[in-house]
Amino acid sequence: MPNKSDKHAKKEVLVKVKRQSSPKAFPHWEEFRLQWRPYMNVIICLRDIGENPVTSDGRATTPVSYDSNCLEEVCGSCAMLINGKARMACSALVDQLEQPIRIEPLTKFPVVRDLSVDRQFMFESLKRVKAWIPIDGTYDLGEGPRVAPEIQEKGYPLSRCITCGNCLEVCPQVNEHNPFMGAAIFSQVRLFNMHPTGKMHAKERLAAAMGNGGIEDCANAQNCVVACPKGIPLTESLAEINREAWKQSLFGWLAG
Amino acid sequence: MRQPKIIVVGGGLAGLMATIRVAEAGVPVDLFSIVPVKRSHSVCAQGGINAAKNQKGEGDSTAKHFDDTIYGGDFLANQPLVKRMCEAAPGIIDLLDRMGVMFNRTPEGLLDYRRFGGTLYHRTAFAGATTGQQLLYALDEQVRRHESEGKVKKYEGAIFLSAVIDESGVCRGICAMDLRSMEVTTHAADAVIFATGGIGAIFGRSTNSVVCTGSAQSALFQQGVDYANGEFIQVHPTAIPGEDKLRLMSESARGEGGRVWVPKNPAEQRAPRTIPEGERFYFLEEWYPKYGNLVPRDIATRAIHRIVYQERLGLQGKAAVYLDVTHIPRETLDRKLEGILEIYEKFLGVDPRVEPMQVFPAMHYTMGGIWVNGQDQATSVPGIYAAGECEYQYHGANRLGANSLVSCIFGGGLAGTAAVKYAANLQTGTEAVSSAVCEIEKKRQEEKNQALISNQGSENPITIWRELGEIMTEHVTVTRINRNLELADSKIRDLQTRYHKINLSDRTKWSNQTLNFARELENMLILARVVTLGALQRNESRGAHYKPDFPERDDANWLKTTRAKFSDGEIVLTYEPVDISQIPPRPRRYDAAK
């Protein structure tokens, strides 16, 4: 009787969390039984555990550590593996998830504690590729350059990247043995290189995008574009940067 | 020559702008933030940023922007700095444009502007419906550039605990805690700029992010930094209710033509799209024909409360009204509002392009905050500056939509410049301060941690917090009644007593989020009392502060700034005159043109 079991399943939510007390500690799983409510998301599950940190077999434990902030998928904090899929915990609705819900930290970043990970690597990569417009100063220099609506409509979606790290998580090329910077970074290179002022420094950014961990390491698995919670056309960005990088290395070579 | 050193606490728009100004002046700056700065709450700002560029040929001017802001704030803001902010706004837009913000464009390649609440002009520049995110990223990128040049040092994942204040009452640095190692450290600086944002968490659920607890402001208040106009809390008219968060549905939805309505028949069962026009009650348009759906937030919020609680016209008897954008072409919606419509769709599983959204008011913003002077964002303690939502300067009794981003950037820039000047002019810098000053503060904070860790009580911090939120939301938001405010204050004091019996379910010393939350909670309880007592005292209605027992604005008695001080463990409210030197107060009405 599927109806009856559905109803039963909805009264309770079964959650399994991969716990790790510190970066070097050995991970283990804990299971929790929570009370179901409408529109429940994974963040609410973690809060419920925090308020009453007792496992399903009645053992007292500690609240789960996790990163979160905006809870509306715009700050990029709460990326984790939910039922094996890299996604944002705030927009992961319990009713759309199979139970038990398995929650794990991202695997491509060092674990700080439990579900909290260190994504500094991504911010360092943004530095390496000079992901900014080098303005002369914040004093009054008049209006910015005119931008065709067409460029804005291409650039804006790229500029919505929340640095969550999901595209790195799903990329086979991002691993301990490979310094590949990941799709998000190259998409930022593309964004700044299409801006009228940013363009003036495109070569520098491309050079960085061709360096260690650069675009050459992309093996075209195309997992990134599927995992991106913001629907950013990451594979388009990778293809374009790849093309531009080839052009630059070729013409750079021709020019001696 | 002595090299000054400056600390900025908070990495949202105001903090980042301050950081950039200090770095540009060639002064080293340490930037402290709970989260990586790119994840700050400013990313949640949606609709846009105001500047009277008059690019639609409507005859807009900075003087009109100034008048709208003062009028919208019900004449409670000190006027000179607001005037300067409105005059600076067009230059701020130019600056952001130069930084590469992907603002929406007109066919001519110029910035596009839309309408927002409390004005009749197209004055709001925007980048889709994620303008705050786009602005924050632009400043984040500039700071990263300065960081890569060694001018800025970031301390991300560190929380401010207290200021280091020397025997003469001058701020000499801060005490902070690393949220991984839980280590308490002190950091010397000649001046400290606070840009620690909103206080949503004292209302339990709000449109604010998790880090917006007001803990830093409260800690400073307890150290002698005055707090002003705490009772002025903005409740945004349109948010999606949720258990973990009340998610904002930007005013830009109405700026682009969205309409708020309920069925005229309270027993209406039909799907909203099938209800004929004649059977819909567009109450904002009917009650406020001139401004319609774009009345200021306090007005729209009270109107929705009236519809739900007095007229009993909430949707299916629930506390909800329709926010309808289904008549707007899909192409326009996707180009201008995609960011927010996507939120509605993801969190409720309903496409708002097809089905009207169901929304209800939610705590959104504090107009009140750290008291700052009328010149340069300096607080009541020398060496401490404040900018952004954490201070009180720009929005009076009610903030107009899309004015917060401009006040963050203007105030942040002003604070950065002022702090550099102050630091350079100091007779003796931090080098002259005895190390004992830092040591005493560090010890005090470590002892607090130890006391919490070893406490063996029976109270759960999350439970206390939830009760605080319920009290504040019920009694200290839209409608305020004195006996309820008295009750709220006594309940908060009960929670303070219970707080002493707190029992942490996590006593470990690595990345202990429970300990940190407990520390923030203590500060939240005190700040909640500042808000509540301010509301209790103010016997009038002005902007967002509405008392049915005192329904009129009372300029004779209450055209005053509330200035809360902390003295011997007690909250003391004092009052000072408002600078109305530019625009004489006049009645505030939105049912007719002003």
Q: What is the DSSP string of B4-38?
A: --EEEE--SHHHHHHHHHHHHTT--EEEEESS-GG
> What is d(CA B7, CA B15) in angstroms, rounded to the nearest whole number?
10
pLDDT value for A2: 42
Q: Taking CB atoms and an 8 Å cutoff, what residues of chain B touch A141? A: 94, 98
Contact A69 B41 (CB under 8 A): yes
Contact A71 B348 (CB under 8 A): no
Indicate the angle between helix axes A183-194 and A202-209, nearest 10 degrees: 170
- What SS3 string covers B237-256? EEEECCCCCCEECCCHHHHC
Task: Tell me how close the Cα of B558 comes to any Cα of chain A, in angstroms.
Answer: 36
- Mean pLDDT confidence for A59-84: 98
CA angle in degrees (0–180, nearest 5) for B129-B250-B546: 155
> What is d(CA B231, CA B544) in angstroms, rounded to the nearest whole number?
9
Confidence of residue A205 (pLDDT cuts 50, 70, 90): very high
Among A72, A123, A146, most B C-beta atoms within 10 A, so best to mutate, is: A72
Residue A74 corresponds to which tokens in the numbers above? 């715009």
Q: What is the pLDDT of residues A31-55, one digit of tens each?
A: 999 999 999 999 999 999 999 999 9
Q: What is the pLDDT of residues A139-194, one digit of tens each?
A: 999 999 999 999 999 999 999 999 999 999 999 999 999 999 999 999 999 999 99
The residues of B that are catalytic are 297
Contact A73 B346 (CB under 8 A): yes
- Mean pLDDT confidence for A198-206: 96
> What is d(CA B163, CA B237) in angstroms, rounded to the nearest whole number?
36
Indicate the angle between helix axes B215-222 and B513-537, nearest 10 degrees: 70
A70, pLDDT greater than 50: yes
pLDDT value for A1: 37
> What is d(CA B249, CA B238) in angstroms, rounded to the nearest whole number?
5
Q: What is the pLDDT of residues B461-504, one digit of tens each?
A: 999 999 999 999 999 999 999 999 999 999 999 999 999 999 99
Enter the ipTM.
0.96
pLDDT value for B431: 81
The answer to whether A238 touches A193, Cβ cutoff 8 Å, is: no
A3, pLDDT greater than 50: no
Q: What is the pLDDT of residues B176-193, one digit of tens each?
A: 999 999 999 999 999 999
> What is d(CA A148, CA B508) in angstroms, rounded to the nearest whole number?
55
pLDDT value for B593: 66
CA angle in degrees (0–180, nearest 5) for B227-B229-B235: 120
A253, pLDDT greater than 80: no
Task: Tell me how close the Cα of B242 comes to any Cα of chain A, in angstroms.
Answer: 7
pLDDT < 50: residue spans in chain B: none
Output DSSP code: residue B567: E
Which residues make beta-bridge pairs with B7?
B30, B192
Q: How many residues does chain B have?
A: 594
Rounded to whole angstroms, the maximal C-alpha distance in chain B is 77
Contact B104 A152 (CB under 8 A): yes
